[in-house]
């Protein structure tokens, strides 16, 4: 198996201060933005939330939203009917069961409608400053190519990475892995020739240099 600790060290040298691309100023905003980001670019989500976050400031604001109006407001993010329902139902539960505050544990976050482990870990890692591993398509692809994960299932990959990566850099490594997947280790035509992890990578399809 590839040396995960060395890979983390090299990757964090390449991306020393990785940040999430979604714009937010509090846990609720990041939660909503993450739900809206499903099958949508972060750039488009940020365009939509710029106005959205001025109108909806608390969980109760979303909970009381007119669903048709809200659908129109988030339509550019795609799959807007389903996303509108999830955001409103999620915020209803936050308002009713958590005093209007986004919960800060994985178990509680995953009780919210529309919130799975990936979304919960995004919020925990970037809004609450916890150490968490959110497995998206980039993490899934890059980790498997590198040889530090061996599954197509996000939960299994999360477990593998959590066991190998030092806890103190887990969130930073998570964000760096996503950046690397977007900028270098892309799904099509990955930039192997300029990859800082080329020597460590165990992907059998990487070109010989």
HEC secondary structure over 43-79: HHHHHHHHHHHHHCCCHHHHHCCCHHHHHHHHHHHCC
Q: Pick left, alpha or beta for residue 196 (phi over 0 → left; psi -120 to 50 → alpha; otherwise beta).
A: alpha
Distance CA 175, CA 159 (A): 17
Contact between 166 and 127 (Cβ < 8 Å) = no
Residue 107's φ and ψ, nearest 5 degrees, are -60, -40
For the question of residue 61 being annotated catalytic, the response is: no
Distance CA 141, CA 146 (A): 9
For the question of residue 136 being annotated catalytic, the response is: yes
Residue 43 Cα distances to 48, 102, 124, 132, 196, angstroms:
9, 24, 21, 23, 26
Determine which one of 136, 153, 159, 189 is catalytic: 136
Q: Pick left, alpha or beta for residue 132 (phi over 0 → left; psi -120 to 50 → alpha; otherwise beta).
A: beta
Determine which one of 54, 55, 107, 118 is catalytic: 118
Active site (catalytic) residues? 118, 136
């Amino acid at each position: 198996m590839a040396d995960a600790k060395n890979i983390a060290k090299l990757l964090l040298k390449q991306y020393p201060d990785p940040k999430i691309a979604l714009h937010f100023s509090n846990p609720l905003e990041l939660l909503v933005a993450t739900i809206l980001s499903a099958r949508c670019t972060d750039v488009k989500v940020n365009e939509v939330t710029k106005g959205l976050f001025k109108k909806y400031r608390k969980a109760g604001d979303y909970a009381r939203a007119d669903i048709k109006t809200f659908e129109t407001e988030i339509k550019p993010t795609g799959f807007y009917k389903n996303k509108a329902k999830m955001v409103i139902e999620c915020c209803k539960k936050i308002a009713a069961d958590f005093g209007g505050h986004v919960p800060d544990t994985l178990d509680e976050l995953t009780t919210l409608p529309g919130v799975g482990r990936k979304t919960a870990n995004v919020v925990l890692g970037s809004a609450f400053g916890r150490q968490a591993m959110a497995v998206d398509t980039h993490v899934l692809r890059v980790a498997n190519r590198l040889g530090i994960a061996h599954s197509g299932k996000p939960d299994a990959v999360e477990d593998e990475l959590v066991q190998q990566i030092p806890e103190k850099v887990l969130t930073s490594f998570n964000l760096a892995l996503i950046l690397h997947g977007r900028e270098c280790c892309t799904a099509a035509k990955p930039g192997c020739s300029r990859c800082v992890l080329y020597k460590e990578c165990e992907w059998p399809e990487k070109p010989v240099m």
